[in-house]
Amino acid sequence: LSLEERLASYIVEGTKEGLIPDLEEALTKYRPLDIINGPLMKGMEEVGRLFNNNELIVAEVLQSAEVMKASVAHLEPHMEKSETSVKGKIILATVKGDVHDIGKNLVEIILSNNGYKIINLGIKVPPEQIIEAYRQEKADAIGLSGLLVKSAQQMVLTAQDMRAAGINAPILVGGAALSRKFTKTRISPEYDGLVLYAKDAMDGLDIANKLMN
Ligand code: B1M
């Protein structure tokens, strides 16, 4: 197998045997984020496909997620960091009912490496907790992540609750079950502030930079 195929296969097989030396080799050729978005994400997509076809069970997917997290943790110190002053404070949460956090944590890494102070509230975060954190932290924006179809709906509910609480800070949303269209037609009308869809973590950074300027 080529290096790229091996990297994807660690994720698919859920094994870390040989992972670190191969990540080190990859770092001599690619930038850390390109390794994540390339072969590692390719592996994760395959995991999703196999899981969907009932060829993997949840416990196996969990192992794949472990390998993904270990890979991101290994690559993180090699990522570019900008030495700017704090550009803004952003609250991040995976919405109520959803445990998927690899994408959200990647967003945290990218944003905090690029001058943002991140308050990461974790997973399965109910709207009231987001509202409380927003008020306590006096954040500039709120980032919501969710991968399940029902999480897209949960974002609509979260936006409604935030509006009812009188909040109109920009909301950044992302995750596999979302789309720009859903954001525009379903979430935005339920909120008084901006609601912006990010397709990946770098897109999230671009949007955050535009917002703060
Ligand atoms: Co789950 N899962 N899972 N899972 N899982 C999916 C999402 C699924 C599509 C798999 C499938 O069936 N093909 C499917 C959802 C179906 C649906 O609703 N349409 C699914 C399911 C069904 C489930 C369970 C219900 C399974 C069960 O128990 N029967 C269960 C749900 C539990 C719950 O949430 N209540 C479940 C559980 C799990 C594990 C715990 C085993 C594990 C998660 C571990 C963890 O996160 N700690 C897991 C995993 C790993 C996946 C897949 C395989 C991979 C997700 C992932 O980490 N991708 C996933 C299939 C897939 O996506 N191919 C699947 C890598 C990650 C970097 O990408 O999170 O998309 P992603 O983030 C991207 C962008 O979306 C974006 O940036 C990132 C890239 O830069 N982004 C943002 C994300 N959030 C953002 C926020 C932003 C900006 C950008 O701003 C705020």
pLDDT in tens, 151-170: 999 999 999 999 999 999 99
| Residue 82: how many other CB atoms lie within 10 Å | 8
CA atoms within 13 A on the CB side of 212: 22
Residue 57 DSSP label: -
Q: Which pLDDT score, from 0 to 100, does residue 105 have?
A: 96
Q: Which atom of ligand 1 is nearest to the CA of 64?
A: 50
Residues near 194 by beta carbon (within 8 Å), at least 6 away in sequence? 170, 171, 211
12 pLDDT above the threshold of 90: yes
Catalytic residue list contains 206: no
Pairwise CA distance, residues 87 & 111, whole Å: 10
Report whether residue 144 contacts ligand 1, using a CB cutoff of 6 Å: yes
The sign of the CA dihedral 35, 39, 41, 43 is negative
Residue identifier of the C-alpha nearest atom 42 of ligand 1:
62
Are 76 and 107 within 8 A, CB to CB? no
| CA 107 to centroid of ligand 1, rounded, Å | 14
| ipTM attached to this prediction | 0.98
Structure tokens at 19: 């992972």
CA dist list (Å): 93 to 113, 168, 212: 18, 17, 20
| CA 177 to centroid of ligand 1, rounded, Å | 9
| CA 213 to centroid of ligand 1, rounded, Å | 31
Residue identifier of the C-alpha nearest atom 72 of ligand 1:
103
Phi/psi of residue 33, nearest 5 degrees: -65, -30
- 39-87 per-position pLDDT tens digit: 999 999 999 999 999 999 999 999 999 999 999 999 999 998 887 788 9
Asked whether the whole model's pTM tops 0.90, one would answer yes
